[in-house]
Amino acid sequence: MSASDDIEAIWRIYQTTLDCFKVASRSISRNDLRLLNKTEFIEYTEDEASKKIKICQNDADDFVIVSLWASFERSLFLYLTTDIVNLQSKLFTERVADHIERLKLSDVLDSFKKVGIDSNLIGQAKQIYDYRNWIAHRNAKKTPSANVTPDMAYATLKEITRQLDGIISLSDE
């Protein structure tokens, strides 16, 4: 499975989650006890339940960005090690593999400009990375440097991995 496929799978799960929020919201607004039975929503007022769903949707938005980034980052590391294996000795490859997770990610992203990835996409990926770090560390004194939406994260990372998948396929031929 390619990195692009992994990102697509995460996106489909997120879309299903959003649909579940819609169903729950409609059930609550219609006070459909049949659908609310055996859920915690049965105990809440419509306003309380709506607030809980909104909080969960915001969290799901953040979680999908973190998940998309994790898959994207894994694909970057795989790309780097695959490319290095094609070009260098096994000893060199093992040394790079041992240190790859400590590389400065902005430098790694910048290096992909040299293989033809659009610099605007790289800039957007850096914004997603900064936002991912903000989500992961939640420093209350700081605000995110950019407003990253799940749609933007998905489109950007999917396109970069699609392009990298093409580059890897070409180098294998």
- In this structure, what token pair is assigned to residue 4? 């692009």
Distances (CA, A) of 45 to 27, 41, 83: 12, 8, 56
Residue 110, pLDDT score:
83
Evaluate whether 3 touches 78 at the Cβ level (below 8 Å).
Answer: yes
Task: Report how many helices (DSSP H) and strands (DSSP E) the chain contains, helices first.
Answer: 7, 0
CA 73 to CA 82: how far, in whole Å? 14
CA 160 to CA 170: how far, in whole Å? 15
CA 49 to CA 25: how far, in whole Å? 8
Residue 136, pLDDT score:
87
Low-confidence ranges of the chain (pLDDT < 50): 88, 170-173
